[in-house]
A and B are shown apart, each in its own frame.
Chain A
Amino acid sequence: MRVLIVEDDDALASQIDLQLRQLGLTPLRWSVGRPIHPDYPPDVDLVVLDLMLPEVDGFTVLEQLRSVSDVPVLVLSARDGSDDKVRALRLGADDYLCKPFWPEELRERVLARLRRPVLRRSEVLVLGAISIDRRGHRVTVDGELLSLTPTEHAILLELASRPGHAFTRRALAQAALDPDRDGNERSLDAHLSRLRKKLGTGIIETVWGVGYRLAGPRVEP
């Protein structure tokens, strides 16, 4: 995958170049801002764009790029003010990173922008022997329909709507519990305990301080 680095500081650009190569990516470098030709946008998978550039400034490059391409853009800025960040986001930047930044932070941001969805947005989620049909609202274990209460069903479907993401207890209670019938946040743990018994271990994980998550490939920001 190719990444365009638009950064006029040679030392910093070299560091970024090295970090991207360590990730197995192919960096290209521009040391100045250049106008983007509408018929020939850069053929890359990601752009790392500094805002303070000679010749054509970063905002102009971003604006021109966005008018012809949806390539993800990660903006670098030495100015910490909200004005630059807000302006960059409004012009279509996908993310921003303020200098100075840690190498790991750059790595994580780049990977986040390049990462393909691990889970396809399919209608049926399979976790070992468990199969959750999100559209048909059916849960089976080894093909056998699992008997769940309406509340347990609602909780499981809510967790399955974003596999790998942690849901807070309050959010789960708001989404899945009927206050008149099922109680509130305090009774959530009881419902989840019963649900976990039915599903078996390793399907629903507790996230410390947050709530619960459906097991599977973790989805990080």
Chain B
Amino acid sequence: MRIRTRIALVATIVTLPQLLLLGALDQNSRVHAAEGALAALGEQALASPGAEEACLAAPNRWATETLASVGPGRPPAHGRGPKPPALEILPAVDLRRSALSSSAGVFARVSGGRGSDLQVVARTGWQAPCDAIAVQGDTVPGFLGSLLPASPTWVLPGLLVALVMWLAVWPVVGRVQALAKHVKRGVHPLPDDGSDEIDALARAVNDAVAARRRTEEELRSFVQNTLHDVRIPLTVLRGHLVRLEEAPSTSSVRGALQEALYIGSLLDNLAAHARMEHSRRDSIDLGGIVEQVIRRHRPIAARVHSRLHHGIPSDPVHVLGDLTLCERALSNLVENALSHASGGNVAVTLDVDDTRFILEVLDDGPGIDDDELEAVLRRGYTGADARKRGAPGSGLGLSIVRQIADVHGWQLELANRPQGGLAVTLRGELATPLKDPAH
């Protein structure tokens, strides 16, 4: 249901019963006031001197003369106020006996009078036909006992309030509709220079769209950079294969394999980057991941004449993480270590304490200059030594590791080992603490 329709309906549902209630209260009040007035007239009639004798002698004349002496007088000039009450002597057959109290002089209202709005009756305690009298009149809006004015203009303020409400909402709904049109047309930023809630909504939408665009731009830039990075090894690979076509050569085969490996790694990192925002949280065994990655890289280590070692606990080490991203992070670290420690040693160790794991990748390569330890975690950055030695790499792997660590809430540290080489350490929480602190 549209907002305007809803507001109109609510205003009607709230206002109408109130108006009806006011009307009913007003009517009720007038009836009671008129009752009282008519009963008072009746009492005065009964109390006037010689009333009984005069009534018994000539009931109709008594009623007329008594009314003339005790009645409310002339009706108001403009017709406002009750009709002059009629004082009647009721014959026995007309008595509204159900309304009559047993006590004399007690007036009670009879519902639906004879040709009038209101009639009160009472026993007189005299002999028939004067044993009961009735006094009848009517109520007039705005007069005796009224809560509301006679003229129905009193409903106007209520209707006016409802109209004002609806008019106040009209521009608000209009602004919301305009916002929706802007969003649909892709207009950005939305106008948000005011200070009310609609402007706050527009600002929130602007911020969300800006964040989304930044993410998309980063991904676009990443994809472009990676595609650019892939073209180079692809070109080198082609060169090796062409040379192989001309003459078999072990060095060309090795070179081709190396470029193929590098291209695969680039594509894996591209896939990992795309997964970051939609990563899963499963209970995974880090020890199993270490073994997977070691298996995958043994052939590669053999090719570069490096030795690959690992040590993991006997029991599974469960953490909450994305299986593919965790494998990619560790693969990147091992590949990075193998490329820098060519001909040397690379070790992966996994340790645990009560609540945390420590995953380390060590190598005995040249390490990284201390002032570059942070910079190498940025995409595209290659350390000075790697550049000097022409070690393969686009500076992508470590930046992906950093992103994966951030996504999982893990701490990543790089440090040069005192014995030489680099130590990369990942620390994080276990999925299930090993010991219950309560025991």
Contacts and interface: CB of A to CB of B under 8 A. Distances in A.
A109 interface: yes
Contacts of B347: 207-210
Query: Which secondary structure dominates chain A's binding surface?
Result: mixed
Given A85-B324, A112-B295, A209-B346, A80 B268 contact: yes
A102 B280 CA distance: 27
Contact of A161 (B294, B314, B349): B314
A162 B314 contact: yes
A108 B293 CA distance: 12
Nearest to B281: A82
Contact of B324 (A82, A166, A167): A82
B349 A82 contact: no
Contacts of B362: 209
A171 B311 contact: yes
A108 B282 CA distance: 27
A210 B309 contact: yes
A156 B324 CA distance: 37
B61 interface: no
Contacts of A128: none
B309 A167 contact: no
Interface string B254-266: 0000000000100
Nearest to B326: A82
A86 B345 contact: no
Contact of B309 (A85, A108, A166, A171): A166
A208 B313 CA distance: 17
A42 interface: no
Given A82-B280, A166-B309, A210-B311, A171 B291 contact: no
Interface string A85-109: 1100000000000001010110011
Contacts, number: 80
Contacts of A161: 314
A207 B309 CA distance: 7
Contacts of A104: 298-299
Nearest to A86: B282
A211 to B, nearest CB: 6
Interface string B74-107: 0000000000000000000000000000000000
B323 interface: yes
How many chain A residues sit at the interface, stated as a range, is 20 to 34
Contacts of B345: 208-209
A221 B291 contact: yes
A221 B295 contact: yes
A160 to B, nearest CB: 12
A24 B277 CA distance: 45
Contact of A170 (B351, B363, B364): B351
Contacts of A168: 311, 349-351
A117 interface: no
Contact of A81 (B275, B296, B310, B363): B275
A211 B347 CA distance: 10
Given A207-B311, A210-B311, A105 B351 contact: no
Given A104-B299, A209-B347, A209-B349, A86 B323 contact: yes
B379 interface: no
A212 to B, nearest CB: 9
Contacts of B310: 166, 210, 221
Contacts of A209: 309, 345-347, 349, 362-364
A80 B346 CA distance: 26
Contacts of B264: 100
Contacts of B282: 82, 86
Nearest to B347: A209
B378 interface: no
B299 A221 contact: no
Interface in A156-192: 161-162, 165-168, 170-171, 174
B271 interface: yes
B424 to A, nearest CB: 12
A83 interface: yes
B307 interface: yes
Nearest to A101: B296
B322 interface: yes
Interface string B306-329: 010111011000000011110000
Contacts of A174: 353
Interface string B329-367: 000000000000000011101110100001000111000
Interface string B269-306: 00100010001101000000001101110111000000
Contacts of B275: 81
A187 to B, nearest CB: 17
A176 to B, nearest CB: 13
Nearest to B346: A209
Nearest to B350: A168
A86 to B, nearest CB: 5
B295 A109 contact: yes
A83 B311 contact: no
A149 B344 CA distance: 36
Contacts of B363: 209
A36 B280 CA distance: 31
Contacts of A81: 275, 324
Contacts of B325: 82
Nearest to A207: B309
24 contacts: A80-B324, A82-B282, A82-B322, A83-B280, A86-B323, A102-B299, A102-B300, A104-B299, A105-B295, A105-B299, A161-B314, A165-B311, A166-B311, A167-B311, A168-B350, A171-B313, A174-B353, A208-B345, A209-B345, A209-B346, A210-B349, A211-B311, A221-B294, A221-B295
5 nearest CB pairs, A to B: A209-B347, A104-B299, A221-B291, A210-B311, A166-B311
